[in-house]
Amino acid sequence: MQITVKNSILELVQGDIVHQEVEAIVNAANTTLLGGGGVDGAIHRVAGPELLEHCKKLGGCNTGDAKLTPGFRLKARYVIHTVGPVYRDGKGKESALLASCYQRSLEVAKENQIKSIAFPSISTGAYRYPLHEASRIALDSITHFLDEHESPEIVRFVLFGEEAFQTYRQTLLEISRKHP
């Protein structure tokens, strides 16, 4: 499924982010940037040990921020590492921090003239953000950014599994009424 926002395409696919042929893939990392499970583990496994060596020099990353590295052995030329919030009860800064992950990743992409980018569903695995709420924040942040900046040309969400895909699909259908 895809929608057009200004000059960009926002699309949803079900699959594994490490196989995406885009210029940059986004990693759902932690503040150390030294690897972990989930998407982070999968990306490091395919990128190879050079990625960890490179990340060690970055001095970590704050929650809600994003940092760029090469993709090493990945098909993607770059990895943009962002750190999502750990979900507690939704009453704190979780939603602002999650929105910031998408915004900062897209800013980093723009600064580096990246034309195509793939995102995983940040914070909805080990960090336990409820999928439906997270999908709304993710897709709202991205459509807002594309509306204002008209870059990158392609933003792809890569959802791992049927439930995540269907949840994002439903949310994108709701949003697409605002971007016919």
Which residues are catalytically annotated?
40
Query: Reduced to 3 states, what is the DSSP secondary structure of residue 116?
Result: strand
Chain CA centroid to CA 120, Å: 5
Distance CA 27, CA 120 (A): 7
Helix (H) or strand (E) holding 12: strand 8-14
Is the Cβ of residue 78 or residue 160 nearer to ligand AR6 in the bound state?
A: 160
Contact pattern from residue 134 through residue 163 relative to ligand AR6, giving x for each residue in contact according to CB under 6 A and a dash for the rest: ------------------------x-x---
Site string for ligand AR6, 84-103 (x = CB under 6 A): x-------------------
Positions in 51-80 near ligand AR6 (CB under 6 A): none
Binding segment toward ligand AR6, per CB under 6 A, in 28-36, 57-65, 92-100, 135-143? 28-36
- Non-local (6+) Cβ contacts of 106 within 8 A are 117, 142, 145, 149, 151, 152, 155
Comparison of 133 and 151: residue with beta carbon closer to ligand AR6: 133
Select from 34-42, 52-60, 62-70, 139-147 the region that touches ligand AR6 (CB under 6 A): 34-42
The nearest distance, CB 180 to ligand AR6, in angstroms, is 29
Cα 156 to Cα 105: distance, rounded to the nearest angstrom: 13
- Tell me the C-alpha distance between 135 and 61, whole Å: 23
Q: Of the two residues 17 and 47, which places its CB atom closer to ligand AR6 in the complex?
A: 17
Task: With both helix axes pointing from N to C terminus, report the angle between 131-149 and 94-111 in degrees, rounded to the nearest 10.
Answer: 40
Total residues in contact with ligand AR6, by rule CB under 6 A: 24
Residue 2 or 31: the one with the smaller Cβ distance to ligand AR6 is 31
Phi, psi for 26 (deg, rounded to 5): -100, 135
In the complex, the residues that contact ligand AR6 under the rule CB under 6 A are: 16-18, 28-30, 36-40, 42, 84, 120-127, 158, 160, 164
